[in-house]
Amino acid sequence: MGKNLALNIESRGFSIAVYNRTTSITEEFVGQHKDKKISGAKSLEEFVSSLDKPKKIIIMVKAGEAVDLVISQLLPFLEKGDVIADAGNSFFKDTVRRSKMLEEKGLYFVGTGVSGGEEGALKGPSIMVGGSEEAWKHLQPFLEKIAAKAFDGSPCCAYLGTDGSGHYVKMIHNGIEYIDMQLISEAYHLLKEVGLSNEEISNIFDDWNKGRLNSYLIEITSKILRKRDSETGEFLVDVILDEAEHKGTGKWASQDSLDLGVPVYSLNTAVLARFMSSLKKERVAASKLIEKNSVIIENKERFVQQVHDALYASKICAYAQGFALLSAASKEYNWSLNLKNIAHIWEGGCIIRAKFLENVKSAFDKNTQNLMMDNYFFDIIKESENSWRDVVTFAVRNKIPIPGFSSALTYYDSYFSERLPANLIQAQRDFFGAHTYKRTDKDGVFHSDWND
């Protein structure tokens, strides 16, 4: 990704210096691009001294200790006012710590979330910037040029707030990415279980990509389902082991939602679904103990439409949760995040880019508290609701796990419930632990003698 980001920056008319701790990698890269304004450095000292003041350095290394190590190695060669941008998937609390440490030394640190994978880095990623506004002024001219474009042609790059805000927003992007992927995979699973072939499902996704569900993830799913394995001639997807791995950003998002007390059912479920998938051996053994009848569906065309509607409604709920978490984090960490802006910079370049984000942007332009309450999305959920419930019921009856679809439906049903059974939980807490409860008919805190 670092190489592609460098090529992208150079292609927009900037000269750039590159450094890798393995000199042969630097030399090979520079050698491949002799015609470009890219210079390679053999040491960090040589690299830093080749830069104009204030020096603007982008670090692209594995999140965690490697970032601290590179910063400590750079420090002896930096002067007040120089800028370090961390473009990796760093944990936002590390970014807060690093910002503080570097700002005390008169340096700027910018936590820069970059999404779009290798291709995005080259052709235009979505860039989520957090740090001091002063540092942003130095980076803005080239970050805006290398970023993808939103639907209105403006850059998918924005300054979002201080210290860890950029990396936080990237973490939530990834959390939503996990949910989107889980929901699409469940749609694929359902369609496969009712007997559709990979090619048929690929065509369905292709079709869906022309409508409301248009998105990068739907597009690549359609391509994935058509791809043959060069060794066996089988569909490649069928020979891939069903154990989903992860690098941690979804789990961090989930953990923070628990810290902030935000009910993000779908996010937590998407993370847990990956964990469950990795219990392959146990699942194989357990599956032998139950019987599964073959799944019969009378009207396939109708079912495909129902799955489409369930997927779209679940997606609305997923984004509602992601944005609710952003809103809570903004208050907790004093960032004043602009939700409309965030939806805007996700319109292009990033993994969750989708047509849908244009409507999300409009919803947050109207100061919507929860995405599901926006008229446009509320009407779509109402329209899709019967299909959504039918799909969930069908899956439950046929023993097809659909944690994404059902947790989104639970989120929706819970959010729109005036009364939940939490009154009983409060009574139980008070019964066994004298934890007290509030009443519906008067203010105050109460405790009862339940054995009376």
Catalytic residues: 170, 177
CB-nearer residue toward ligand 6PG: 59 or 351: 351
CB of 166 to ligand 6PG, least distance (A): 13
Residue 162-191 contact track with ligand 6PG, rule CB under 6 A, x = bound: ------------x--x--------------
The one among 54, 81, 117, 263 contacting ligand 6PG by CB under 6 A:
117
Residue 99 CA, chain-centre distance (Å), reads 23
User: Of the two residues 100 and 247, which places its CB atom closer to ligand 6PG in the complex?
Assistant: 247
116 binds ligand 6PG (CB under 6 A): yes
Give the residue with the Cβ less far from ligand 6PG, 246 or 435. Answer: 246
Report the nearest approach of ligand 6PG to the CB of residue 248 (Å).
6
Asked whether position 95 contacts ligand 6PG by CB under 6 A, the answer is no
Closer Cβ to ligand 6PG, 249 or 257, answer by number: 249
Q: Which residue is nearest to ligand 6PG (CB)?
A: 115
Q: Is 381 in the site for ligand 6PG (CB under 6 A)?
A: no
The yes or no reply on residue 273 touching ligand 6PG (CB under 6 A) is: no
Least Å distance, CB 1 to ligand 6PG, is 8
Q: State yes or no: residue 115 binds ligand 6PG (CB under 6 A).
A: yes
Which residue lies nearer to ligand 6PG by CB, 67 or 381? 67
Residue 256 binding ligand 6PG, by CB under 6 A: no
90 binds ligand 6PG (CB under 6 A): no
Q: Which of residues 336-375 bind ligand 6PG (CB under 6 A)?
A: 350-351
User: From the CB of 244, what's the least distance to ligand 6PG, in Å?
Assistant: 8
Region 236-255 residues binding ligand 6PG, contact defined as CB under 6 A? 246-247, 249-250
Footprint of ligand 6PG on this chain (CB under 6 A)?
89, 115-117, 174, 177, 246-247, 249-250, 350-351
